[in-house]
Structures are given as C-alpha cells and as structure tokens.
Amino acid sequence: MRLALTLAALLALPALAGCGGCSGDPTREGFICGVNSLNKGTYDQRQKELEAEAADKQQEARLSAEERAAAEAREQQSEVEARALEQKLADLDRAIANREAELKQAKAKAGGSRAEELKALEKQLAELQKRYDQVQQDAAQSAATQAEIDELEARNAELRRLLDQMIQSL
C-alpha cells in the first residue's frame, strides 16, 4: 500500500510542480501552474500583449474619429458649394428674366425695324433659357457643375451686351 501511495505521489509530482502542461492562462491553471507562470514571466508577457492590444484599439478609435470628422468636413463643404451653386442659379434666373424684359423693351422701341436682329436675339434667349433649365435640373440631381453655370453666365453676359447695343442704337 505504501508502495502504491509513493508511486501515485511520484506520478503526480510533475503535474504539481508545473511540468504537466501549464497553459499560462490563469483562468484555467491551478496554484502550482500559477506560481510557475509567475516565475517564467508568462503573466508579464500576457500583460504586455493586452496593453499593446488596447493601444492598437485606441489608435483605431482615434483614426476612426479622424475619418468621421474629415467626412463631416467634406459634407459641410459640399453643402456650402451646393448653396453657392443654388445662389448663382437664382441670380442667373433673375438675369434671364431681365433679358426677357429688355428684349420686350427693344421690340417695343424698334417697332417693325430690325426684326431680323430681334428674332436672332429671341432665339439666343430661348437657347439660354433652355440650357438654364437643363442646368437647373442637373443641380436638383446634384450633377450641375460650376463650369456649366459659368458658361450660362457668359452666354447671358453676351446676350445682355447685344441687347444693350440694340437698345442704344434705337
């Protein structure tokens, strides 16, 4: 019987001494493995790994916050640009209405003379109005560009110049 107990103690000794497959995980180890892990520095290594993992997650959170802030800034810039385009379109709409009024005034002053010139100006005004309507529709679908609006403004300025010349010559 003593021999059996001694044999059992000898067989159990490696497991109790920490040689029996300690994993380094304190939640799954017993006292002896815990002491063994402390001596080997396993816990310190695990602590460093967890701190590095936490630092990585904090860095990811900072980067995510920066990306979110940049996206918000881009969205605000887009909104500012959209409002500016809307304002330019509204200004252009008023300018086209002014050209129509000036054309009517020129027709009234000219009577029947210079009918060909007036027809050409009416055609240009109609084309300008049509192009304006297209750009305005594009703007509603967020596709209007500054270049398109600049083109319309240039065409409007040219039409105004021609109308001014005609009115002054009458």
Average model confidence (pLDDT) across the chain: 81
Contacts of 144-150 spanning 24+ positions with Cβ under 8 A = 144/85, 144/89, 146/85, 149/85, 149/88, 149/89, 149/92
User: Do residues 121 and 106 touch, judged by C-beta distance below 8 A?
Assistant: yes
> What was the pLDDT predicted at 30?
77
Which residues have CB under 8 Å from 103's CB, separation 6+?
118, 121, 122, 125, 163
- Confidence class of residue 67 from pLDDT cuts 50, 70 and 90? very high
Q: Has residue 89 been placed in a domain? A: yes
Which range marks the domain in which residue 120 is found?
Answer: 42-169
> What was the pLDDT predicted at 84?
86
Is pLDDT at 146 greater than 80 in this prediction?
A: no
- Phi, psi torsion values for 143, nearest 5 degrees: -115, -5
Q: Has residue 49 been placed in a domain? A: yes
Domain count, the chain: 1
Q: Has residue 131 been placed in a domain? A: yes
Among 29, 57, 53, 56, smallest CA distance to 43 is for 29
- Confidence class of residue 18 from pLDDT cuts 50, 70 and 90? very low
- Confidence class of residue 3 from pLDDT cuts 50, 70 and 90? low
Q: Has residue 79 been placed in a domain? A: yes
DSSP 21: -
Q: Has residue 7 been placed in a domain? A: no
Q: Has residue 86 been placed in a domain? A: yes
C-alpha–C-alpha distance, residues 52 and 39, integer Å: 22
Instruction: Give the tens place of pLDDT for each residue, 93-103.
Output: 898 898 888 88
Q: Tokens for 95?
A: 């300018």
Instruction: Give the tens place of pLDDT for each residue, 116-135.
Output: 888 888 899 899 888 888 88
Among 86, 92, 88, 99, smallest CA distance to 142 is for 86
- Confidence class of residue 66 from pLDDT cuts 50, 70 and 90? very high
Most confident range (mean pLDDT) of 38-47, 75-84, 135-144 is 75-84
C-alpha–C-alpha distance, residues 163 and 170, integer Å: 11
Higher pLDDT, 153 or 113: 153
Q: Has residue 31 been placed in a domain? A: no
Q: Has residue 90 been placed in a domain? A: yes
Which residues have CB under 8 Å from 142's CB, separation 6+?
82
DSSP 87: H
> What was the pLDDT predicted at 5?
63
User: Do residues 110 and 141 touch, judged by C-beta distance below 8 A?
Assistant: no
> What was the pLDDT predicted at 61?
92
Q: What is the mean pLDDT of residues 17-30?
A: 65
C-alpha–C-alpha distance, residues 105 and 111, integer Å: 10
